[in-house]
């Protein structure tokens, strides 16, 4: 497929780095540090679209749907990374947020760039994952032209699922089929065409915002604490104990016992303390509010310390 993509912002040469190969390590690092301020500005400019995506995706998940990320190369790897970090951070079902990459799991470790040119593969991978009308898709393509991603987005729109596009070029340079269009315009890369740099940084930031925003909306956060954290190792156990201490004034020894009784659930343990109830009854109150700790506390007139 011989297409000239030279008009895309992500493929253009950056005048600031015309002598990149002649710079000293200090000059090179300083240039990259200065240029890497642009991804933050790009994400800030995309706040309205990011907020719309959070709201729409949350609505889908609240009604039993799932969130899928779809991409190729760096974009695909970033989507997979964000997806796999949700279960340990928010104790979410691994099926709730999924990442699909052109070429499948082997492409995470070994580049399979040629597979991104297969338009039908995006649809096929989604169909294989039983992607349906109730679900949400974020199709990620730095240059906005990846056939694999465009195929997935087209399929999502076709069946009535939510289609969110994410690219690092202006809309007029690359149209993408979607309901919500997120553009992270980071400009030309210092290493021409290497979108793992600024484009990748902005994409990672945007995905962090989307997944965290969705999980907050679903009640998996209380204040700024990850009260749905999965206590699966010493670090996370320590975090859970500090949450119990900070929010409910529970000492570590008591916190350990509470976590045992609550089967590792920080939210249940907090509700046990606030309501002075055994784990089974506290869990019942939590289930009545779909796992939202704040709603469970307010609905029953309980307060943490």
CA distance 111 to 133: 31
Clarify whether 116 is annotated catalytic.
yes
Residues with Cβ within 8 Å of 267's Cβ and at least 6 positions away in sequence, in order, are 222, 227, 228, 286, 291, 293
Can you name the residues that pair with 299 across neighbouring β-strands? Answer: none
Assigned token pair, 73: 């190369």
Clarify whether 44 is annotated catalytic.
no
Assigned token pair, 253: 């020894």
Out of 85, 237, 261, 281, which one is annotated catalytic? 85
Out of 11, 35, 116, 189, which one is annotated catalytic? 116
φ and ψ of 222, to 5 deg: -120, 120
15-45: burial string, b at 16+ Cβ within 10 Å, e else: eebeeeeeeeeeeeeebbeebeebbeebbee
SS3 248: helix
| Residues tagged active-site | 85, 116
């Amino acid at each position: 497929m011989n297409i000239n993509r030279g008009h895309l912002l992500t493929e253009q040469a950056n005048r600031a780095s015309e002598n990149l190969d002649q710079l000293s390590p200090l000059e090179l690092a300083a240039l990259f540090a200065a240029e890497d301020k642009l991804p933050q500005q790009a994400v800030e400019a995309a706040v309205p679209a990011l907020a719309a995506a959070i709201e729409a995706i949350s609505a889908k998940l609240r009604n039993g749907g799932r969130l899928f990320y779809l991409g190729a190369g760096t974009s695909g790897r970033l989507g997979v990374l964000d997806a796999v970090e949700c279960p340990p951070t928010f104790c979410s079902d691994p099926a709730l947020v999924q990442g699909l990459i052109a070429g499948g799991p082997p492409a995470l470790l070994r580049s399979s760039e040629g597979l991104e040119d297969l338009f039908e593969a995006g649809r096929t991978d989604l169909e294989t994952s039983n992607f349906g009308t109730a679900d949400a898709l974020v199709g990620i393509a730095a240059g906005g032209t990846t056939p694999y991603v465009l195929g997935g987005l087209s399929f999502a729109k076709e069946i009535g699922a939510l289609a969110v596009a994410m690219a690092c070029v202006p809309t007029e340079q690359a149209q993408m089929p979607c309901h919500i269009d997120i553009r992270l315009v980071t400009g030309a890369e210092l290493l021409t065409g290497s979108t793992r740099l600024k484009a990748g940084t902005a994409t990672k930031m945007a995905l962090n915002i989307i997944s965290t925003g969705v999980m907050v909306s679903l009640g998996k956060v209380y204040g700024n604490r990850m009260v749905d954290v999965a206590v699966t190792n010493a670090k996370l156990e320590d975090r859970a104990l500090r949450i119990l201490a900070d929010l409910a004034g529970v000492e570590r020894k008591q916190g350990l016992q509470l976590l045992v009784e609550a089967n590792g659930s920080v939210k249940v343990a907090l509700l046990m303390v606030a309501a002075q109830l055994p784990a089974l009854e506290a869990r019942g109150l939590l289930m009545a509010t779909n796992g939202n700790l704040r709603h469970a506390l307010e609905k029953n007139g309980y307060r943490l310390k």
